[in-house]
Structure 1
């Protein structure tokens, strides 16, 4: 029975997060109440407070379902036959980010993060974006510095500048495509942009 109870509690939590995705996407974060989320899930507001302290706590839990730290992505995509090629690992990880973005849940949550999450809301959006950016920045700089040490990063680009360029391109691509996904095929355009970028950085 305890196992069943735990499973039921987890199912309730997931249903609330599913409902939050729907309402946040439709109304925006600041105009969504916990009561509306509970109603969308067919539950009471008490059920929401049983699992989440507040809207911000619920929002972060929703984000965690699709978030994959860049460092973990790098570990997952690193080619075992080419373990010491940081530029190739970064390229493959960036391609994987674009691939994951096209999955329905990831697309919904990132649309909320980029386009439905007003600054004046219950969620500290600016701090959240800053935290996510810093996590990516530190990891990218580390890899570009490794590439510089191995002589594979072109000498004309510093690791910090390469990182800023890659982050600007990736965030801009995500923001632009999520604004109007029908305007172009990110599955085609994204890899072409990424491969062109890394092709210019390799020292020959």
Structure 2
């Protein structure tokens, strides 16, 4: 394969992924036949099989790309929010990322699907690992800054704290199928606030002050 072929392959692959992400966002999953995707992208069906093993491979890859982009964008927003609160002396690890993970069933469900697909697809697994590393790096840097600002105790390992908060945020996916026994999202956030107090140099008088209120969940997509 020449360098031009490689460039064309990458460009076509990216166009197909962007097309499927758009169709997913528009809830057009029922119209995602190979012919529909190719027509929407302005390409031939052969282009799909040139870039991907099959239709399922393309859709899984697009889901992963969407999940990675949304997660990193949410994580960045949370980081900026945390840093602004830190400047005001307000601890808040329950930022936008945690709240959106709780309030968006589709995002949690997609995360499980993406991680499952990544276990059998080396290329997808590599992309997901990069995203996970970026999330952890952002969390660790944020908590390290909070320690330097005197908000969090200096004896707490920021890497362990990052892993703790990350697992709390995504762990809610494990109980999505529960009914009566499913905890209330506000109670879940309140619990996070209570636990976070153990990390603070000067614990807040109320665990709720450690984070924002929960926004009502979006409808599943």
Give TM class, smaller chain: 0.5 to 0.7
**Deviation at residue 89 of structure 1 after TM alignment:** 3.9
Q: Distance in 2 between matches of 1:72 and 1:145?
A: 17
Q: Distance in 2 between matches of 1:148 and 1:12?
A: 42
Q: Which residue of 2 aligns with 1:158?
A: 157
Q: Distance in 2 between matches of 1:128 and 1:161?
A: 23
Q: Contact (CA 8 Å) 1:38, 1:48: kept in 2 or not?
A: no
**Deviation at residue 13 of structure 1 after TM alignment:** 6.4
TM-score, normalised on structure 1? 0.62
RMSD over aligned Cα, in angstroms? 3.7
**Deviation at residue 145 of structure 1 after TM alignment:** 1.1
Number of residue pairs aligned between Structure 1 and Structure 2: 170
Is the aligned partner of 1:74 residue 2:79?
yes
SS, match of residue 155 in structure 1 = coil
User: What does 1:1-204 correspond to in 2, within 5 Å?
Assistant: 14-15=22-23, 18-20=27-29, 37-38=32-33, 43-44=35-36, 46-47=38-39, 50=42, 53-54=51-52, 55=58, 57-63=61-67, 66-67=70-71, 68-75=73-80, 77-78=81-82, 82-84=85-87, 88-102=91-105, 105-114=106-115, 117=117, 119-121=119-121, 124-171=123-170, 173-178=171-176, 180-182=177-179, 183-185=181-183, 187-204=185-202
Q: Contact (CA 8 Å) 2:146, 2:152: kept in 1 or not?
A: yes
Q: Deviations over 1:84-143 (max 9, x none)?
A: 1587243333542334434xx4344234235x536224x744323322221111111111
Q: Deviations over 1:42-97 (max 9, x none)?
A: x535336647754165334443674334122333x4586x4515872433335423
TM-score, normalised on structure 2? 0.58
Q: Distance in 1 between matches of 2:63 and 2:98?
A: 26
Q: Distance in 1 between matches of 2:89 and 2:134?
A: 17
Q: Distance in 1 between matches of 2:92 and 2:98?
A: 10
Q: Distance in 2 between matches of 1:44 and 1:50?
A: 10
SS, match of residue 90 in structure 1 = coil
Structure 1: which 5+ residue stretches go unaligned? 1-9, 23-35
